[in-house]
Every structure is written in structure tokens, then in C-alpha cells.
């Protein structure tokens, strides 16, 4: 069996016609999945019974293995795929005095081949790329089981999106269509450490917003902690991102993880300031979420505030991102690792 969401709308229409049904059935199926968030073909009541049986025999959906809710409203989901692989995604509610919005954080790979030393997903190793349907299902699955509609899509979960470029772009193309949710490209953010595929994506891919996971202001230090050989040099990545912002008007943010004694000194702040001064980027300082096994610790709050103030005085636009879901292990890879460890110990 395959995932029905692996078919784009045109190929779904072809399947419908080959099954002896009129082409408008494809739109009905898409509405059941993307609008009504229904994953049981038998419940698609405006489809003929015989056709529902065909769908049931031909296609499947991932299943919810575990769901954890945080005191701050964050919900973390663990999905079981057809081949037994486990992936995570996170629903993030945000509130201000004027509005509320929901961000959905998606995974693009089961595990991650980049193997950043400070990342739980990287520590857990790489299994495989996700298909377009497996990426898309996380959106409708979180909306269904989270009981809400998404405002923004974040490709910031498990994996490096640019190492699964075709399926990631395919998922974005569906999400921006009328049949697939009508998410404007400005409501989608892709996070990357800056793989060499970045140039192709920025020039030919969808015009989404970009979050560049920089984390270290010096090339040699960054290579030690992000050891993948195909990561672009910092200078080249920033050059491409500056060109992209100028051409598209899209927001480019610089993600900087604050790790105690590693990259949180005022000397690091000075080097980061020199690197970014005059560039049209927004800096997000991220408090480190401890992972296991790892000797790294979060920077003290005072260090983070001093780091932020230094950058602001240097003229940079900077915010501190509030940690979310720490009580439910909402950092990428933690819930999956915990579940796999539990299964290993009980087998």
C-alpha cells in the first residue's frame, strides 16, 4: 500500500479516472483529507461504496503512536510510518494580547545525516528521507488531533530539508495550492544548516522564508560541531541569503543556539556582530535544550541577555526565542529517542 498524499492532485485525478470514477472525485477526496481531516476512507460518505473499498485497498495513512501535551500548550506528536519508522512533529501555539496563531513544525527525514553534535536527531542517526505524503500528513494529522487549524508551517523538525529537496519542494507546492491548504509562501519557513543545495533551492524553489541555523560565528568551530562535508562555508551561505532577501523580500532569520561555555561569550557575540552587521537578517537566540547523551549545557539566562544586548548595541535586530515544550521533550528527536530506547529495553 502507498500513501494517497504521495499523489499530487493531477495524479490523483488520473487514479480516479482509471478506477472508473469522474475526475471530480479527486477534489472530494482532497476536501475530506485537507478540509475535514478525515483519514478513514469508509467515512468519506459522498464517495460510492465500491470506490471507497478501492481506496481502502490501495492507500494508507501514518498512524499516531504517541501524543504529549505541554503545560504551555505545545503538543508533540510521534507518528508510525508504514515501514515502522518513527517521526516527530510539533504543534506550537502562540498568543499575544491581540492575536493567536498556530505553527506546525514538520520533519523531512527519519533521523538526520548532518549529525550536529548538539542535536538529538543527529545523535540518533539517519534512517531515510520522508516522502511528500509523509511530510504532508504531519500537517493534516496535527490539525486533526490537535483540534485546530494551522497558521504557519515550519520545516524545522527532524532532518535537513535540503537533503530531501524534491520531496520537500513537492510538499510545499501542495500546501500552497487551493486543494492543499492555501498556505501562502510567506507563511512557510524552511530551516537549514546551509547545505550546498541551498543555491539551487534559493534560485529555483518556492519563495518561502528561510531560517539559517548558524549557531557558531567562526568557520572552524562550526565545522567541529556541524561536521557534514557538504555544508557551505558561512560566507557563501550568507551571500546567497542576502541575494535571496533582496530578490524576494522574504524574511531571513539567523538561528543561534546558546550553549554554555561554547558560543555564549561576549567574544562570540562580537564575532557574530562583525559577521552580520549591515546585513538584512533577524537573529534568533535559542536557549539550548539538553540532549542525551551529551555533555553540553544551556547558557545561563544572564549570559543570553548580555549576548542579546551586545548584538542590539551593535545594530542587529535580535530576539530571544522562548523555549517551548521542555516538559514533554519537545526538542527534535527527543520523543523518538525515548520511545526507541523504551522499545529496545522491553524487547
Residues annotated catalytic, as ranges: 88, 332
Q: What is the DSSP string of 294-318?
A: ----BPPHHHHHHHHHHHHHTT-EE
User: Which residues share a beta bridge with 60?
Assistant: 3
Residues in a beta bridge with 77: 67, 89
The contacts of residue 289 (CB under 8 Å, 6+ apart) are 298, 323, 326, 330, 331, 334
The residues near 64 (Cβ < 8 Å, ≥ 6 apart) are: 77, 78, 79, 80, 141, 145
Cα 334 from Cα 107, distance rounded (Å): 13
Distance of CA 50 to the CA centre of its chain: 37
Q: Could you give the CA distance from residue 23 to residue 28 in angstroms, rounded to a whole number?
A: 9
Amino acid at each position: 500500500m502507498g500513501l494517497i498524499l504521495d499523489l499530487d492532485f493531477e495524479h490523483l485525478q488520473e487514479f480516479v479516472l482509471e478506477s472508473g470514477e469522474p475526475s471530480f472525485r479527486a477534489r472530494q477526496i482532497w476536501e475530506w483529507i485537507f478540509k475535514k481531516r478525515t483519514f478513514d476512507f469508509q467515512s468519506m460518505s459522498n464517495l460510492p461504496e465500491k470506490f471507497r473499498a478501492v481506496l481502502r485497498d490501495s492507500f494508507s495513512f501514518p498512524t499516531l503512536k504517541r501524543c504529549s501535551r505541554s503545560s504551555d500548550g505545545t503538543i508533540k506528536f510521534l507518528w508510525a510510518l508504514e515501514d515502522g519508522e518513527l517521526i516527530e512533529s510539533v504543534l506550537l501555539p502562540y498568543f499575544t494580547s491581540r492575536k493567536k496563531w498556530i505553527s506546525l513544525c514538520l520533519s523531512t527525514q527519519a533521523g538526520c545525516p548532518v549529525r550536529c553534535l548538539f542535536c538529538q536527531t543527529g545523535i540518533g542517526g539517519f534512517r531515510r528521507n520522508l516522502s511528500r505524503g509523509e511530510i504532508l500528513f504531519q500537517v493534516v494529522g496535527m490539525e486533526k488531533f490537535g483540534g485546530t487549524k494551522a497558521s504557519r508551517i515550519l520545516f524545522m523538525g527532524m532532518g535537513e530539508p535540503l537533503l530531501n529537496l524534491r520531496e520537500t519542494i513537492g510538499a510545499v507546492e501542495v500546501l500552497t495550492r487551493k486543494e492543499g491548504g492555501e498556505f501562502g509562501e510567506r507563511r512557510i519557513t524552511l530551516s537549514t544548516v546551509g547545505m550546498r543545495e541551498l543555491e539551487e533551492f534559493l534560485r529555483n524553489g518556492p519563495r518561502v522564508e528561510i531560517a539559517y541555523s548558524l549557531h557558531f560565528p567562526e568557520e572552524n568551530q562550526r565545522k567541529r560541531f556541524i561536521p557534514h562535508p557538504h555544508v557551505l562555508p558561512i560566507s557563501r551561505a550568507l551571500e546567497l541569503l542576502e541575494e535571496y532577501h533582496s530578490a524576494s523580500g522574504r524574511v531571513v532569520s539567523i538561528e543561534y543556539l546558546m550553549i554554555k561555555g561554547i558560543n555564549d561569550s561576549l567574544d562570540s557575540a562580537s564575532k557574530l556582530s562583525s559577521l552580520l552587521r549591515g546585513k538584512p537578517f533577524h537573529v534568533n537566540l535559542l536557549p539550548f535544550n539538553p540532549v542525551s547523551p551529551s555533555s553540553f549545557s544551556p547558557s545561563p539566562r544572564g549570559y543570553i541577555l548580555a549576548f542579546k544586548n551586545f548584538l542590539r548595541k551593535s545594530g542587529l535586530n535580535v530576539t530571544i526565542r522562548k523555549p517551548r515544550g521542555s516538559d514533554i521533550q519537545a526538542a527534535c528527536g527527543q520523543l523518538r529517542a525515548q520511545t526507541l530506547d523504551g522499545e529496545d529495553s522491553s524487547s
